[in-house]
Chain A
Amino acid sequence: MSRAARPEPNETELLRRAQKGDPQAFGALVERYQRRVVGVAFAVVHNQDDALELAQETFVRAFENLSKFESRSSFSTWLYRIAANLAIDFRRREGRHTILRGEDAENEIQRLPTPRGDLFLEASRSELSKRISDALRELTPEHRAVILLREVEGLSYDEISEVLQVPRGTVMSRLHYARGHLRGILKDLGETES
């Protein structure tokens, strides 16, 4: 006997149940937003392990404070903002403004998808990733966070402005600077490869 698939509950319903202390409903919200929350944390701290820890802490804080969430912004933006605040605090506390752990950088490169049977392409991808990782490290955390939130996480300027609590104009100027810097590095890389 075939069983009809249950429709996925919408976010409002999940939120309502989670606000009443339903951990299952909150678990569904975690599943829905975990990747992006980790991405936001990673954009600020630029470290995988720290990003994972901060993302977990983000969801715990969100669960604790769900009753304070008043739907003035979207739930996702509210989550990203918690993640960004935690990550910024963490970065200030740890003093990791421009330091990326060597192991993490290596792991990132190792985890990159590699095309089979093309060692030259694989090597050049690793090289490209390494250069980009180096280029990102050269940026200030503020510039790096903005470019990653925009290019990797796909947040709009208004969302970035709300998450990082900076004016929209600041978002635009930081993006312009970060893009110019990375473009120069990529250009050099391209010239070197050719």
Chain B
Amino acid sequence: MAQCSEIELLLGPFTDGELEPHEMEEVALHVVACRNCKAALVDYRALGVTLRGAIALPELAGFSATVHERIQQFRVPLHIRIKRPFDWFGERMGTAFAMGAAAAVAAVITAVVVTPYAGRISNALRQASGNASVANRDTSAPTASVPEQRKPAQEVAASSQPRNSVGAAPSQPNDSGIANEGDGANPNNVGGAPQAEETVAADSQAIISRLEADSPSVAVWSEPQTDTTVIWVPDQP
């Protein structure tokens, strides 16, 4: 069992609850069995109560108002005054910026996700309208029905070069694979005979698909005014 001289040093911290658990236990066991230390412990506890009752702190009425007056005279440091407008702006515009950023992100995601589908849909519509126009085209219409002034610049620029165009019916054979396939399907002048036109109308979708698959640079467009579908195949290198 611990000696009173050792325990006496721990009585105050014991009262304050500032000892380690094993020390608390040791003091408690000692105090139960020791009359002197128990009396000292009672005195220490009474001392706290007495001090709290005896010490009177001053009245605090008007204290905070006085402090407020004093700090009003104090000039706010320059760096805080400089920061204030930015803080104000940040607090009020922060939400707007966050919403704008979220909208921008949503727009980018939408564009990335939707654009390929939009392209496919557009191509499909274009092909469908092309098919319809080829199928419904007047068989007696001249093959070179695309007005020269409405040809795209690309086609006009290439007009002097060998080319293969279903609607524009190239008069010269093309040595490209695609062109040869087209020529193979219809070795005669495409635009020259109505029977050949009907064949093209029936198989135009298959031809367009094959051409696009084999050569991504094939351009297909329709001329609604003339009911003509134009397939432009680039020149061979």
Q: Which of B73-93 contact A (CB under 8 A)?
A: 74, 76-77, 79-81, 83-84, 87
> Are A30 and B67 in touch, CB under 8 angstroms?
yes
Closest to B63 in A: A34
Q: Which of B46, B56, B68, B87 contacts A20 (CB 8 A)?
A: B87
B residues lining the A interface (CB < 8 Å): 9, 12-13, 16, 18, 40, 43-44, 46-48, 50-58, 60, 63-64, 66-68, 70-72, 74, 76-77, 79-81, 83-84, 87
Nearest 8 CB-CB pairings of A with B: A48-B58, A21-B76, A132-B54, A111-B56, A129-B54, A151-B51, A151-B48, A59-B67
Beyond A111-B56, A176-B9, 5 extra complex contacts between A and B, CB < 8 Å: A19-B80, A20-B84, A49-B58, A67-B80, A175-B13
A67 cross-chain contacts in B, Cβ below 8 A: 77, 79-80
Q: Which of B12, B51, B70, B80 contacts A175 (CB 8 A)?
A: B12
Q: Which of A1-51 contact B (CB under 8 A)?
A: 19-21, 23, 26-27, 30-31, 34-35, 38-39, 42, 48-49, 51
Q: Which of B55, B64, B74 contacts A34 (CB 8 A)?
A: B64
| Alpha-carbon gap, A73 to B99, bound state (A) | 37
> Are B71 and A60 in touch, CB under 8 angstroms?
yes
Q: Is the interface of B mostly helix, strand, loop or mixed?
A: helix
> Are B63 and A64 in touch, CB under 8 angstroms?
no
| Alpha-carbon gap, A112 to B101, bound state (A) | 64
Closest to A112 in B: B56
Query: Could you name 14 residue pairs across A and B whose Cβ atoms are closer than 8 Å?
Result: A21-B76, A30-B64, A38-B57, A49-B58, A56-B67, A60-B71, A112-B53, A129-B56, A133-B54, A151-B47, A151-B51, A179-B12, A183-B47, A187-B43
A152 cross-chain contacts in B, Cβ below 8 A: 51-52, 55
